Amino acid sequence: MDKNPQSQEARNLKDAGAVLVKGDLEDVDVLKDTFKKVDGLYLVLPGVWVSSKETDEKEAELGIQTIKLAEEQGIEFVLYSSVMASDKQDRFRPKFKFTIEQYLLESKLQGAVIRPASFMENLLLPSFGLGEGKFINPLPEETAISWVTTQDIGTFARIIFQNHSDFNGKTIDFGGQLFTPRQVLELLEKKLDQPIEFVQVPLEMLYQQSEIFAKLVEMVAKEGYDPIDDKLISSWLPKLTSFEEWLDDTGIEKIRGLQSFGNL
């Protein structure tokens, strides 16, 4: 589903074999027609970069509205893409992704929840500053978190759909290697053969930008994330892409393509 099927990104998807539908999740009439024609729904809600109580509530409302419609139109299976530690975030985000998870798993639908770890591709966003030769880090330096490629998420989502009866009712934390921010920095410097300035964002500054994000960082610092069930994941997908493999395959090339790295 795409708001602009004529865009280059959409045409690339079409060339790769996708069938495009014009519309968005807020267009209920288009969704009704589309849902009558499909058996499964992979629900990924639009990203919000500066969260607030209002954006959280809007996301929860949109997710529940979409799942209700899927239920009404007889969708066979729904896979909802959430976020790691959504249940812990429920303490300070009472109406957010965990609300959607609960609604799905308590509905009459067959469904499952996947909670991906941090995307390696996020490093390409301006918020990390790699285009300016910086590594801007909001997390505690000593805290290791899991990382995963979006390609591996897509592969595992396909596996879930192909074996949906085995995953019905399950919530799966999905991620790979654990890296501290300093370890990520060292790997980037090694692969780029270039020094990168490490910029630690103070918690006070995070609170000025987004109280919700600051509370998330505090939670990660104090509690970390729950361990990932590597045995479950490897039983279906024996090998995930390592950080080094992602950098070698596509990551470094894309980072070099960022403005300040264009001459490396």
Confidence at 259, pLDDT banded by 50, 70, 90: low
For residues 186-208, average pLDDT: 96
Instruction: Single out the residue of 25, 10, 17 nearest to residue 68, CA to CA.
Output: 25
For residues 229-240, average pLDDT: 97
- Taking 90 as the threshold, does the pLDDT of residue 250 lie above it? yes
Which CATH number is associated with domain 38-261?
3.40.50.720
- Taking 90 as the threshold, does the pLDDT of residue 263 lie above it? no
- Taking 70 as the threshold, does the pLDDT of residue 262 lie above it? no
pTM of the model: 0.93
Least confident of 46-50, 74-78, 168-172, 239-243: 46-50
- Taking 60 as the threshold, does the pLDDT of residue 264 lie above it? no
pLDDT score for 260:
55
- Taking 80 as the threshold, does the pLDDT of residue 43 lie above it? yes
Least confident of 79-88, 212-221, 237-246, 252-261: 252-261
Percent of the chain with pLDDT over 70: 98
pLDDT score for 181:
97
